[in-house]
Amino acid sequence: MKKTPTRLADGRELIYYDLRDDIVRDAVDRRPLDPTVTRSEIRRDPLLGDSVAIASHRQGRTYHPPAEECPLCPSEGERLSEIPDSSYDVVVFENRFPSLAGDSGRCEVVCFTSDHDASFADLTEEQARLVLDAWTDRTAELSQLPSVKQVFCFENRGAEIGVTLGHPHGQIYAYPFTTPRTALMLRSVAAHKEVSGGENLFDDVLARELAGERVVLESEHWVAFVPYAAHWPYEVHLYPRRRVPDLLALDEAARTEFPQVYLELLRRFDRIFEREGGEGAVNEPRTPYIAAWHQAPFGPTGVPGAERADFALHLELFTVRRTSGKLKFLAGSESGMNVFINDVPPERAADRLREVASS
């Protein structure tokens, strides 16, 4: 992997990640951009104890532009985009409309490929490995910022999720605090360690799933399963067999095998709703999903009894589509009380994901 950092016209950082070492990246951003002005504020809810980012400048962000005006495609001639060069493998740059900025953290965009019409599932294993290396490199760099406590790499795909740019891309949020979901996991880990005499909750969950009926696929270094209490209609958790706290700690064997396993999982997601509805049914467009890496916070966890090494890196992949033509909305119970109601039994979801093997 070759890494080439540069700056955009408004001062934001952009980094090219290339498969070949002989690539030269010297294109200049020719857009007449003013310096970026962002106002992000973190406010703590005194009742719930969680934090909310207030970022009014995001109201002006780019919204569903036509393909020929996509800001994530390479620049070509006089059509200038966020990427100054005429081609790229993987690019990461500071978000022009960040939810977190300055002392409140940082937000970055990760472009997986220059092909506007592709998807992560269309990448080659070599390309997917380059994305993994970019995620890892950015986690390492962002974790060194004084304001950053936790790094979150994720992908939103599909208009149903709320994606406003159709180009295949993800994001990285560097939070100035431990997120509520991670803190909740760490509290569960600490409680389990105390009552079990030192056992690790993540290890025990993985062992139980391996012995059960919800494993979707497994390899020498990775296991993908539908969790026992899945919140979403189709939800898969992907774990390395060897517990590590973050992407930085993955060994080379797990990194090498990851692209094959993850691409297979994404391709199965795209086939969940095929043939649903009987003969003559029209296939749905690509399955909308959220893919989210869960990494340990950096430094002390802030949860008594839970060490950073107790956390298990894993990826959670889920879709808001519950059946052909129908979405899972977060209505009264989910949004009002945070109690999820899942219409698809996890065992049936696992069966379906095994049925639609892409090979």
Catalytic residues: 169
Q: What is the DSSP code string of 271-319?
A: TTTTTTTSTTPPPPSSPPEEEEEE-PPSS--SSTT--GGG---EEEEEE
Residue 172's DSSP bridge partners are: 108, 153
Cα separation, 50 vs 180, in Å, equals 6
Taken in order 1, 107, 189, 307, the sign of the CA dihedral is positive
Structure tokens at 292: 């989210």
Helices (H), the chain: 125-142, 180-196, 201-210, 252-269, 337, 346-355
Taken in order 58, 152, 332, 186, the sign of the CA dihedral is negative
Q: What are phi and psi of 139, to 5 degrees?
A: -60, -45
